[in-house]
Chains A and B, each alone.
Chain A
């Protein structure tokens, strides 16, 4: 696409006037090229497949640390006020519906930790109950949060059957210093205010830049394909291929919320 000096000045000048950054100018100059370079922006139904066969305690810990670091999730070491976006839970408690009454779960699974996060349900009850639309489902399936609109009524926490939502019972910046060295750990991501609900957003801010979610990137650095992230709407996507090949389970699928996080046992 040819741009002469006159056009270039016009576009950059207008961008500057509107207070937009260089990236926007780039997009105006070369429409379509940015998106083409970033296939992750085009998902229709994001999903994650967690391969528990290759999963280790170390990977889970690293994933949790990476997620909580890039999203400024404070550590409280107190179950009453804790905030969790991604965390470990043993099989019995992660899948209480499958486990009810089964005393004879395979040894390898019974006390084994699973990696839990928001399921980004296809039919999310949290979005249904939110009175302000502060949590809603994006067109690509991500269940998002607007921390500036949330009034802190916590209806979504009552509505979520997976315990995926956390509330800021106090100011996250006042979390114990010794547990949170250098907090906020990522200055490019907002810290939240007290009195709002938060949760995993499938790293929407990273997807927008064409990057994989932080947990996926971290896990795959240690062992490839432990966490598989992709678009369920695309029949040839990595997640669809994994789901075709392996038997998977989802948490509380019987409730009909349509969780989009799958586990290969």
Chain B
């Protein structure tokens, strides 16, 4: 099936070469980081996780692209999503792949990573996160590949694949829950110590994943004969609208609890993020960009006319991606470390090598995504689906 990925026009190859260049730059920076140590990043004794772990957190959400099309199709027999399930699953694979890479580049001693398996410690949430993410990737790989292969041959996929599909649906919920537990169970990190963390992760995932999927579907429609379908786009728009509204609702609940109770530990990080604390406020412009993007997304998604119109829905999707990225890919993790355990502010900002490594991993993800989508779309074009 992979042979479809090596037949493409100059634009296709140009895009892949561009990604390869980004990957090479990122890899070069990683070799530098590997040699010198993580001091080449902006992370510090106080903010000990930065851009890498933030991206892991964000991308776990993107992996929800799979379940949000798989669930309506298989559990509610919503036939229209049939042509999207493989794309959703492939995107989930790529998202989890990037998650894994971000964990790897964040480790101080990456060569010892197998210690997690050789000396397993089930009390650690990281152990469970490793399990749920890897199994989720494997499930989607097996499902996506076999369903596509069956489609190419014009036959129905095997029964065991169906079993895996049913397992993959609750499993998708587990990856967001367990990843939220990484943060929400730590004493003394007031910003993270909240029972609504897992629901927030789910809501954020269920809008950001489908938003990116929809965006990429529209690109695919432009560059190929494959049409995701008007009805499908409209339904996805509805899913994104509900999930994003919930996401913002949960976020506002955090704000209420913190500021009505007036407990300083609960307010400090929000103050740092939105107005600055003790004169420090590197993330303030970003968080207001999050507010603006959220308002734009809310309006465009709630008003039926703009949600159903494709170009305004496109803008809404971009706004959702921007808002959820700033929220989870920046503010949530970095904010959790500010102020530090001594109630002091020590700020974080990523360095150039750190940003280039991050972009390199994103390029790797998009490279694999392009190859997988090219394969899937070519087969769909052949069978005329």
The digit string for B309-347, where 1 denotes a CB below 8 A from any CB of A, is 000000000000000000000000000110011111010
Q: Does A233 contact B (CB under 8 A)?
A: no
Q: Are A195 and B123 in contact (CB under 8 A)?
A: no
Contact with A along B198-214 (1 / 0, CB 8 A): 00000000000000000
Q: A residues within 8 A CB of B352?
A: none
User: Quick check: is A211 within 8 A (CB to CB) of the other chain?
Assistant: no
Task: Find out whether the CB atom of B126 lies under 8 angstroms from the CB atom of A149.
Answer: no
Our pick among B36, B45, B189, B344 for the contact of A158 (Cβ within 8 Å) is: B189
B56 to chain A, nearest CB (A): 11
Within the assembled complex, what's the spacing in Å between the Cα atoms of A153 and B116?
11
Question: Which listed segment binds A: B103-111, B158-166, B223-231?
Answer: B103-111
Instruction: Report the separation of the CA atoms of residues A130 and B112 in the bound assembly, to the nearest whole angstrom.
Output: 14
* Number of interface residues, chain A, beta carbon within 8 A: 51
B39 touches A81 (CB 8 A): yes
- How far, in whole Å, are A79 and B37 apart by their CA atoms in the complex? 17
Minimum distance in angstroms from A141 CB to a CB of chain B: 18
User: Known contacts A149-B119, A255-B187; is A79 also within 8 Å of B44 by CB?
Assistant: yes
Interface residues on B, range: 35 or more
Given A94-B342, A100-B264, A196-B108: A161 touches B187 (CB 8 Å cut-off): yes
**CB-nearest residue of chain A to B126:** A131
Q: List chain B residues, Cβ under 8 A from A155.
A: 124, 126, 182
User: Is A166 part of the contact surface with B, judged by Cβ < 8 Å?
Assistant: yes
Interface check A223, CB cutoff 8 A:
no
Give complex CA distance A83, B45 in Å. 8
Q: Is the CB of A195 within 8 A of B126?
A: no
State whether the Cβ of A21 lies closer than 8 Å to any Cβ in chain B: no
B271 on the interface (CB 8 Å rule)?
no
A70 part of interface (Cβ distance < 8 Å)? no
A160 to B45, CA, bound (A): 12
Docked-complex contact A125 and B121, CB < 8 angstroms = no
B127 within 8 A of A: yes
Contacts of B336 in A (CB 8 A): 158
- CB-nearest residue of chain A to B41: A169
Report the separation of the CA atoms of residues A129 and B342 in the bound assembly, to the nearest whole angstrom: 21
B383 at the interface (CB under 8 A from A): no
Q: How far is the CA of A255 from the CA of B188 in the complex (A)?
A: 7
Could you say which residues of chain A place their CB within 8 Å of the CB of B183?
158
Please encode chain A, from 55 to 97, with 1 for each CB lying within 8 Å of some chain B CB and 0 for all others. 0000000000000000000000001111110000100111011
Is B38 part of the contact surface with A, judged by Cβ < 8 Å?
yes
> Which of chain A's residues have a CB closer than 8 A to the CB of B337?
158
CB of A79 within 8 A of CB of B119, answer no
Q: Does B113 contact A (CB under 8 A)?
A: yes
Does A44 sit at the interface, judged by CB under 8 A?
Answer: no
User: Do B39 and A101 touch (CB < 8 A)?
Assistant: no
Q: Which of A89, A129, A152 sits near B124, CB closer than 8 Å?
A: A129
- Please indicate the chain A residues that have their CB under 8 angstroms from the CB of B186 in the complex: 125, 129, 158-159, 161
Q: Which residue of B103, B116, B125, B344 contacts A93 across the interface (Cβ within 8 Å)?
A: B344
Residues on A with beta carbons closer than 8 Å to the beta carbon of B46: 79, 163
Q: Encode A193-231 as 1/0 by CB contact (under 8 A) with B.
A: 111110000000000000000000000000000000000
Residues of chain B touching chain A, judged by Cβ–Cβ distance below 8 Å, are 36-39, 43-46, 48-49, 103, 106-110, 112-113, 115-116, 118-121, 123-127, 130, 182-183, 186-189, 264-265, 336-337, 340-344, 346
18 further interface pairs, Cβ-Cβ under 8 Å (given A129-B123, A154-B49, A168-B108): A79-B45, A81-B39, A93-B343, A128-B124, A130-B124, A132-B118, A149-B112, A151-B115, A152-B107, A152-B110, A152-B112, A159-B187, A161-B186, A161-B188, A167-B108, A168-B37, A169-B43, A169-B44
Could you give 21 example pairs across A and B, Cβ below 8 Å? A79-B46, A80-B39, A82-B45, A100-B264, A100-B265, A129-B124, A131-B116, A131-B124, A132-B119, A133-B121, A134-B119, A152-B107, A152-B112, A154-B48, A154-B49, A155-B124, A158-B183, A158-B337, A163-B45, A170-B38, A195-B38
